[in-house]
Amino acid sequence: MALDTRLSRRSLLLASGGAIVGVALWPGAGAASSESTEKRLVAAPGLAPIVGQPSPQTAVWCYNGETPGPEIRLQQGSRLRLIAENRLPQDTTIHWHGVRVPNAMDGAPQVTQPPIQPGGSFTYEFAVPDAGTYWYHPHAHSAEQVGRGLRGAFIVEEPQPLPVDRDVVWVLGDWRLEPDASIANDFHNPMEMSMSGRIGNTVTINGRLQSKFSVRSGERLRLRLINAAPARIFALEFKGHRPIVIAYDGQPIEPHVPEGARVVLGPAMRADLIVDMPGDSGSTAPVMDTFYEGLSFKLVELSYTDDRPLRAQPLRPPTKLPANTMPEPDVARAQRHDVTLTGGMMSGMGMSGGMGGMMGGSGMSGGMGGMMGNGAMWAINGIAARGHDMKPMLILARGKTYILAINNQTAWYHPIHLHGHSFRVITRNGVATRYQEWRDTVLIAPRERAEIAFVADNPGDWMFHCHILEHQEAGMMSIIRVA
């Protein structure tokens, strides 16, 4: 029955061709704001000064001629109507990462829409129910398309903005560049796909290699960090500063200084920080990325201007942002499902054993080696995805609370993302998390277990996958249906 409905919806989509206007009413936000924004995003090849002089510009893929694409900024509850045009040499779609859109607007190719063909277009139209920091990116060939620069910030403002001196967005990008600043063409290297994913050699803030970020003594920033890298994980340390996390993945959290004052962001994850600038005028302080052992580097330097301090007294700690509109999961009565992640090389980066046994059947974890050929290297509950269109792994009843007990049996990190919902991360390795934080992407360490809880309130077929994009393309993806 359910399958029939799905098939007919799909053939309807396919029959009506490229341009489809979605009917998108989110029940939680339908009445909140009558404001509506019209936009056009054109995905096309372009040039960008990623490294800067004297290096030449880099041939990249852009939205509206830029990488990252233009920032989309809306008021909570308002509506967006956006025409996406594809002038790339391959199919694309746009996914609104973390925004709880209606299923037909979600940008999952073959599942929620036909892919946008070269020369074609698609109209996305939806309301934004929740405030916060989100982002957009293609969901077709995404390892290559995000890797070539297709990504952008998507900011939904609270009705009452937080009092800060500046609201700053850092879209973190990671590129693999040749010495002449061109993008290395080595996408889909099987060894990398079965290990950490394609990690680059050039980390950018808002599409540029940056050495300095100018700040003023005494000012307070709201810094919205977006990890838009295909595979790189960040752990940022603001030396001499105490960033306070006020939101993860757009969702408010009790304001707190993260463990070790380190802000950890797996691919696709976001953090909203309050950063006060206590340094002296004219001083500098590095922002270090210390995630990969032995590979720390300076992301950028906070460079204090010579202006006199903006205020004499430090500000009071920030208060918690108002809650978003997700229903509260009823954890006591939740139904629990096990989700097991397997595959990849047996050894993690920096672990002994190195590259031994790579790609051979015996080198794959979870006994999957023999079953997974043809580029399928990772699996969720024993199934390696081959493209988006697949049988749902789980069928959830609309309105009920579910716990997914995710067990990472691999030797690698996986940032696991569920479309269409935000969830609470309730335990890690069986221990209750301190903040029971809302997220849409949870970073799970090698051999770690994490439980997430949510109300399955958004009907449709939702992608559930690893956001290391090479892992996603090499099988670590499934569908969760809310019916």
Binding site for ligand C2O (CB under 6 A): 95, 97, 137, 139, 268, 417, 419, 463, 465, 467
In the list 452, 466, 477, 480, the residue contacting Cu ion (rule: CB under 5 A) is 466
Q: Please report, as a single letter, which amino acid is at residue 428.
A: R
Please choose, out of 93-101, 148-156, 267-275, 464-472, the segment that lies near Cu ion by the rule CB under 5 A: 464-472
- Is 468 near Cu ion (CB under 5 A)? yes
In whole angstroms, the minimum distance from the beta carbon of 44 to ligand C2O comes to 21
Please choose which of ligand C2O, Cu ion, none residue 417 contacts, taking the beta carbon within 5 to 8 angstroms, the exact cut-off set by kind.
Answer: ligand C2O
Judged by CB, which is closer to ligand C2O: 224, or 419?
A: 419
Q: Which residues on adjacent β-strands are paired with residue 463? A: 479
- State in angstroms the smallest separation of the CB of 248 from ligand C2O: 15
Based on CB atoms, which residue is closest to ligand C2O, 98 or 218? 98
Chosen from Cu ion, ligand C2O, none, partner binding at 421 (C-beta under 5 to 8 Å by type): none
Provide DSSP, 173-184.
EEE-B-TTSPBP
Least distance (Å) between residue 137 CB and ligand C2O: 6
Please state, in angstroms and rounded to a whole number, the distance separating the CA atoms of residues 425 and 450.
7
What residue number has its CB nearest to ligand C2O?
A: 97
Stated as kind and residue range, the H or E segment containing 104 is none
Q: Which does 471 bind (CB under 5 to 8 A by kind): Cu ion, ligand C2O, none?
A: Cu ion
Task: Please enumerate in sequence order all residues whose Cβ is within 8 A of that of 204, keeping only pairs 6 or more positions apart, or say none.
Answer: 50, 172, 173, 174, 175, 210
CB nearer to ligand C2O: pick between 79 and 95:
95
How near is the Cβ of 211 to ligand C2O at its closest, in Å?
29
Q: In the bound complex, what is the minimum distance in angstroms from residue 231's beta carbon to Cu ion? A: 9
For residue 107 the two structure tokens come to: 């940008």
Per partner kind, with CB cut-offs from 5 to 8 A, the member of ligand C2O, Cu ion, none near residue 146 is none
How many angstroms separate the CA atoms of 281 and 307, rounded? 6
- State the DSSP string of 184-218: P--TT-HHHHTTT----SEEEETTB--SEEEE-TT
Give Cα 50 to chain centroid, integer Å: 21
Return all residues near 334 (Cβ < 8 A) that are at least 6 apart. 400, 401, 402, 403, 453
* Of the candidate residues 241, 424, 465, 471, the single one contacting Cu ion (CB under 5 A): 471
Pick what 388 binds: Cu ion, ligand C2O, none; C-beta below 5 to 8 Å, kind-dependent.
none
- Of 383, 453, 396, 462, the C-alpha closest to 422 is 453
Nearer to ligand C2O by Cβ, of 154 and 402: the residue is 154
**Which listed range, 125-133, 299-307, 321-329, 465-473, lies at the site for Cu ion (CB under 5 A)?**
465-473
Task: Let me know how long the chain is.
Answer: 483
Query: In angstroms, rounded to a whole number, what is the distance separating the alpha carbons of residues 218 and 460?
Result: 48
For residue 339, which of 231, 459, 439, 466 has the smallest C-alpha distance? 466
In the range 379-418, which residues lie near Cu ion by CB under 5 A?
414
Compute the least distance from the CB of residue 157 to ligand C2O, in Å: 21
- Beta pairing partners, 263: 236
Tell me which of Cu ion, ligand C2O, none is bound by residue 466, counting a contact when its beta carbon lies within the kind-specific cut-off of 5 to 8 angstroms. Cu ion
Q: Determine the distance from the C-alpha atom of residue 78 to the mean position of all C-alpha atoms in its chain, rounded to a whole number.
A: 22
The nearer residue to Cu ion, 62 or 466, going by C-beta atoms, is 466
198 binds, among Cu ion, ligand C2O, none (CB under 5 to 8 A by kind): none
Q: How far is the CB of 161 from ligand C2O (least distance, A)?
A: 26
- Burial tier of 434 (Cβ tally within 10 Å: 0-12, 13-18, 19+): exposed
CB of 178 to ligand C2O, least distance (A): 27
Binding site for Cu ion (CB under 5 A): 414, 466, 468, 471
